[in-house]
Structure 1
């Protein structure tokens, strides 16, 4: 019997990799993203694997749109077994140059989006016999603080740290029917981080014990485990996946 998943930020990068891995494991996938052409391509790849795909062009920062998307997925497929909150946006500005609206937008896309989609799926999952599972994409910078890269200045790190608090709190509120965890990737080769990895890739590998950068496929294996493992005694946790990034 097939299962269903919603993947925000599923058009490319980590979200795409996770969506495809879930499809390989029998999930029909609803993709949510602003990047419609890339999202359509990912949907085609999912369908080529023999699974169903839905696409929703949406700003994940919108609470109302999140509820519209989730309600439509539930109407079409009847159940939502897994939610992956992967949508994110970087902000390269430091505290002395960032504007209030830029900080707010970074928080909205990275953190509030998780609240939006969890708020929408939780009532559905709680009513299902099998409950549901949720994973949200945090970052290694949630634990270490922002550094000098374009992705991980303070606004981004703050939003990603908030995901950890949200995860722990909601694991208590929504358990035992819903299991919710967070993932903290290190340096992953994606479109978002390409400029950084192109300029500093070889240098960064030297600070990673496994001597390579991570890939979306690496993260997808962990996401798939959290979505599919039976039995599962894991909730309210965060998982670092960084190849042991000891100095970057």
Structure 2
């Protein structure tokens, strides 16, 4: 019998994180969810357990370095190993350079970029000690494009998401060959966050005018790539970023 594998999903309560957590559970992973949205996180835990997998919930601000170390240690104790880390926690920032305050910029960087450092810093030593592991971090198409007119894509958000790509390339060199680390850059994906920012209302127009595949992306489009990065054997891929946008060529 194949031993159970375990995964940490930050920002796993809803949206892309929830979809990836469920997809990983279907592949036999026990899941540890890390989020501040306790009600939504409990719902996702129930869905994971309905798939026959173990699930843990940790209410935590992912930008908190000390809390990250505590959470990862508790997950290691509970599951015995950590096979996959998905850094998914993120925060929109609609303000431009002329409007944003220093604390708003700092918070955007902390949630979108520093949180990745926090959880990699905590999990990587454990993965190295157990002989291997994999990490994926959710960046954004905006890391490559500099952002568009949508509310989540102004410069601070794009800056943080671009930082994930540099971190991924550098850590692939530091942690290889034992740990594989890659990044995923979603384009316009239909999630609760996107709906809250009225992005999906523009979806039909975007599909006609600027997405080659003619539709807005779904959470499962991202989740299937994340599952591949977590499970593919053999895997000769590290330090890379993968764009999931249906070829969003004019937005």
Query: Same fold, TM exceeding 0.5?
Result: yes
Equivalent residue, structure 2, for 1:219 = 222
DSSP-derived class of the 2:7 partner: strand
**How far apart, CA to CA, are the structure 2 residues paired with 1:238 and 1:212?**
22
Q: Which moved more, 1:203-212 or 1:21-30?
A: 203-212
**How far apart, CA to CA, are the structure 1 residues paired with 2:198 and 2:142?**
15
Q: Is 1:10 aligned to 2:43, yes or no?
A: no
Runs of 4+ in 1 over 4 A off after TM superposition: none
Give how far 1:239 is off.
0.3
TM-score, with structure 1 as normaliser? 0.98
**How far apart, CA to CA, are the structure 1 residues paired with 2:203 and 2:224?**
23
DSSP-derived class of the 1:223 partner: helix
Instruction: Extract unaligned runs of 5+ from structure 1.
Output: none
Q: Give 2:234's match in structure 1, choosing from 216, 231, 234.
A: 231
8 Å CA contact 2:150–2:199 kept in 1: the answer is: no
DSSP-derived class of the 2:183 partner: strand
DSSP-derived class of the 2:181 partner: strand
Instruction: Extract unaligned runs of 5+ from structure 2.
Output: none
Equivalent residue, structure 2, for 1:246 = 249
Equivalent residue, structure 2, for 1:35 = 37
Give how far 1:162 is off.
0.1
Equivalent residue, structure 1, for 2:128 = 126
DSSP-derived class of the 2:199 partner: helix
**How far apart, CA to CA, are the structure 1 residues paired with 2:28 and 2:51?**
9
Equivalent residue, structure 2, for 1:152 = 153
DSSP-derived class of the 2:134 partner: strand
Equivalent residue, structure 2, for 1:110 = 112
DSSP-derived class of the 1:126 partner: helix
DSSP-derived class of the 1:88 partner: coil
8 Å CA contact 2:30–2:54 kept in 1: the answer is: yes
**How far apart, CA to CA, are the structure 1 residues paired with 2:26 and 2:53?**
8
Equivalent residue, structure 1, for 2:137 = 136
Equivalent residue, structure 1, for 2:207 = 205
Give how far 1:197 is off.
2.9
- What RMSD over aligned residues (CA atoms) do the two structures have, in Å? 0.7
Give how far 1:205 is off.
1.1
> For 1:71-98, what per-residue CA distance to the aligned partner results, in whole angstroms no more than 9, with x for missing partners?
0000111100000000000000011100
**How far apart, CA to CA, are the structure 1 residues paired with 2:61 and 2:162?**
21
**How far apart, CA to CA, are the structure 1 residues paired with 2:152 and 2:228?**
26
Give how far 1:198 is off.
3.6
Q: Is 1:188 aligned to 2:192, yes or no?
A: no
TM-score, with structure 2 as normaliser? 0.97
DSSP-derived class of the 1:192 partner: helix
8 Å CA contact 2:190–2:200 kept in 1: the answer is: no
Q: 1:232 to 1:198 in 2, by over 3 A?
A: closer
